[in-house]
Amino acid sequence: MSSTSEDLEHERPNPPRRGLRKGLYLLPSAFTAANIGMGFFSVMASLRGFQLLAGTAPDIAAAASHFDSAAIAIGWALLFDMVDGRIARMTKTTTEIGIQLDSIADVVTFGLAPAILAYVWGYGVSLTEGSDLHRLAWFLSFMYLMCGAFRLARCHW
């Protein structure tokens, strides 16, 4: 039994990427990278705001500015997240690694970043280290992260 070119095409998971087509594969990944970048920025801005509140002379205005920037970054990430999958489907450049990278981006940006932001902006500085309420705050932030991660894992399972 000989193989035809049609049979071989069905066996190959992704066609060879040449020229402009190869560049199209990078486009959705660039939006996913922007999503991750906004999630990372949000975490770093949250941590900086927390530092400004935790000192001996808290700078509330500067900390609030960092927290606002962190929240806005999550909003921008939402936009990038909505666009990356649409572009991949429109250009028929969906790949397995792109799907996995998008899931990781979602856990960072919509799980970790909001959990940290809620902790540091909402209740982190006001609670005594090691108290029951402090441990509860950590647990609630962690549970938010885990619920988001499980939801994403279930969607891709």
The reported pLDDT for the residue numbered 35 is: 96
Task: Label residue 19 by pLDDT band (50, 70, 90).
Answer: very low
The reported pLDDT for the residue numbered 48 is: 96
Handedness of CA 46, 55, 53, 133 (dihedral sign): positive
The model's pTM: 0.78
What are the tens digits of pLDDT across the range 55-71? 788 899 999 999 999 99
Domain boundaries of the chain, sorted by first residue = 22-155
Place of tokens 């770093």: 44
CA pair distance 20, 36, nearest whole angstrom: 25
Residues 6+ apart with CB under 8 A from 16: none
Distance (Å) of CA 60 to CA 64, 65, 84, 145 = 6, 9, 36, 26
What are the tens digits of pLDDT across the range 22-48? 666 678 888 999 999 999 999 999 999
